[in-house]
Structure formats: structure tokens, C-alpha cells
Homo-oligomer: A and B are copies of this chain.
Amino acid sequence: MVDRSVGRTRAAVVGTGLIGGSLLLGLRAAGLDVAGWDPDPTTRAQAREQGATSPDRLDDAVADRDVVFLCGPLPTLPETLLRVAALTGDGCVLTDVGSTKAELAGFADGHGLAHRFVPGHPMAGTDRAGLTAAVPGLFETAAWVLCPTGPGLPAFRWLAGLLLAAFRSRVVPMSASGHDAVVALSSHVPHLLAGALAGAVHRAELGDAVLALAAGSFRDGTRVAGSPPQRTANMLLGNREQVLRQLDGVRAYLDELAGALRADDPAGLVGLYRGAATARTGLDGRTLRAAARDFPLRDTGDAELAYLLALGADGGHLSGCRVADGRVTYTAHLPTAVL
């Protein structure tokens, strides 16, 4: 964190598949000095063919960097975090892009890394995989969850500023457990429902006819059921408790819908669908208002942390984070209903 101007920042990306590779290309396009490393020699060679720096040894890639992005598969991240922490100075910010956050955040905390590890999760991806599918613009204006903590506030501010400058991301500050609960509903449970619907058709006697008459609702509702099964299984297992907890809420609503249908109760059904339509309409109809807030840097940080976590929980995000004159100034965007 010696040099805070984006253009001079030295970054490293460990694990250069789709996400890490896109970061490697995107950070370079933003003017950073960036090195990538991947355990696979072929991937390292591909990165070099694309003009990126990708040394053969991990320590050559991460030594003397201001920030290292950990981008390997979820189960490998704890070990990678320890390796990279040992190879970098205490001022080097570490972050990851894994799809769940609480487990790794707790692991980092337990290893005394909470002051420089900022759990992260960019909400971007494609149906493809690998460095050859990477694109530098993958994160432009995407939502990017970062998990601030008391000891990690300075690292959070710096990393948020970097992502905003490099990618114009919508930085969403959230607690690690809050993030995991939210993505359980916004991504993981939808995968369960899609799997159940497509799976039931796979088993149904009339399955072939169902495919022949598939309406848009079926096509949309089963799309992610066509994803690679192993990848989906890993994702769900990585957020097991939260997925099961949020599934209970969805099942409860489904039970009420089925109950109203069984009872031949049009008013009950309409009422339940009104609630559903409100949420769905909110997805495309969200209007946000900007508001600035600043905090003194020489403070406990409690008020700043509470502000940030409330912002993310309320569906808001940051578009600005500036540290100057002993204060941090955030530009926040909140749904108007909440403001």
C-alpha cells in the first residue's frame, strides 16, 4: 500500500482461469503492473502468449506486490492464502474471488491475517471456463462484494478505491456471513430449483413431451441445470448451511402457494403472487440515489463499519471511496425506498 495511485500499483493474480485471467487482463488494461501465476504450466504459457507477465514460480509472481488476488478453486484458497501471506510483506493486501466468504474469512482471522485479507466476490462470470475464455472487461460496472472488518478497514478502503478506479465496479460492502446468506438466495437456491425441475422431467414418463412443449418459463427456470454438475455441486457444498437455511424460506412460500392452489383459493394465490411480483419488479425497477458520507480515520472505526455493513444489507453499493486529510469519504448509492 506504499503507492496508492492505480497506475503504479503492483498487483498479482494467483490462479488465472476465467476469473483470474480476466483480472490479469483487466488490471493490465487499467494500467497496473500485474503478474499472474497458475499451477498449470500450460496456463502460464498461455498468459505469456497474451503478453502478460506470468513467472514460473509463485514467489516471483507475488513478491513485493501491493495486492494479490487469490482466484483458484474454492477448496484450495485457505492453503493458497497461507502460502501467499508468507511470501508477501505485511503491507500487501490480500483478497479472493471465491463464491462463499464466511469460511475463508474465519480461517484468515484465525491465522492473524484479518488486517490485510479482504474477502471478495465479484458478481461476474460466463458459462465458459479457463484463461482462453478470459476477457479484460468482465468486471466493468459489475457488483463486487468486499467484506470489511474492524482490523481490515484500511485494507478495505484501499482495495475498494482500486476496484472503483480500475473497473468502475459497484463495490458492495457486506459481512462475510451476510454475503453467504444473500448469495444462497440470489444464486444457490435458484440452482437447486432448476435442478429439481429439470431432474423431475428427466424422470417423468412424459419427459420427452415436456421438452417438446417447453414454455419460456421452463426454459428460463432450468437454464442453470445444464451447468457442469461437478461445478454446481461444489458451489452448493461450499455454502451448505446457508443454502439449506434459505431453501427453507423458499419451500415455505412454495407450500403456501400449493396450499392456496389445493384449497382452490384464488384470492390467496393472487396475494402470494403480488408479493412475488413486487420482488421481481424490484429487480429491474430499482432506482438508486447517491449520498456521501465521511468518517475520521483516527477513530475506532465502529461507526464506519456499521455504515458500510448497513449499506450492503440494504441493497446499496459504493461508487467512490477517497482517503484524504485524515478522513475517508464514501459515495454511496441506496435504493430510494430505503433512503
Contact = CB atoms under 8 A, between A and B. Distances in A.
Given A123-B215, A213-B182, A195 B276 contact: yes
Chain A contact surface mostly = helix
B240 A264 contact: yes
A214 B222 CA distance: 16
Interface in A220-262: 220-230, 232-234, 236-237, 240, 243-244, 246-247, 249-254, 256-258, 261-262
Contacts of A246: 200, 204
A196 B254 contact: yes
Contact of A206 (B182, B195, B208, B213): B182
Contact of A192 (B215, B225, B257): B257
A251 to B, nearest CB: 7
Given A143-B213, A217-B191, A233-B270, A225 B277 contact: yes
A309 to B, nearest CB: 10
B315 A208 contact: yes
**How many copies, total?**
2
B185 A200 contact: yes
Interface string A270-289: 11111111111111001000
A280 B222 contact: yes
Contacts of A233: 266, 269-270, 273
A193 B228 CA distance: 22
A17 interface: no
Contacts of A230: 266, 270
Given A237-B264, A237-B269, A211 B252 contact: no
A279 B337 CA distance: 41
A257 B123 contact: no
B197 A181 contact: no
A279 B186 contact: no
A193 B200 contact: no
23 contacts: A182-B210, A185-B218, A186-B210, A186-B214, A186-B218, A190-B218, A192-B258, A193-B193, A193-B197, A199-B272, A199-B273, A202-B278, A203-B249, A207-B279, A208-B335, A209-B313, A211-B283, A216-B224, A217-B224, A218-B283, A225-B273, A232-B269, A234-B266
Given A185-B206, A186-B210, A190-B220, 17 more contacts: A181-B206, A183-B213, A185-B200, A186-B213, A187-B217, A193-B193, A193-B221, A195-B254, A195-B257, A199-B279, A212-B312, A220-B223, A222-B280, A225-B277, A226-B280, A247-B258, A251-B254
Shortest 8 CB-CB contacts between residues of A and residues of B: A208-B315, A229-B273, A196-B254, A198-B276, A190-B217, A202-B279, A233-B269, A226-B280
Interface of A: 123, 143, 145, 172, 174, 178, 181-183, 185-187, 189-204, 206-230, 232-234, 236-237, 240, 243-244, 246-247, 249-254, 256-258, 261-262, 264, 266, 269-283, 286, 312-317, 335, 337-338
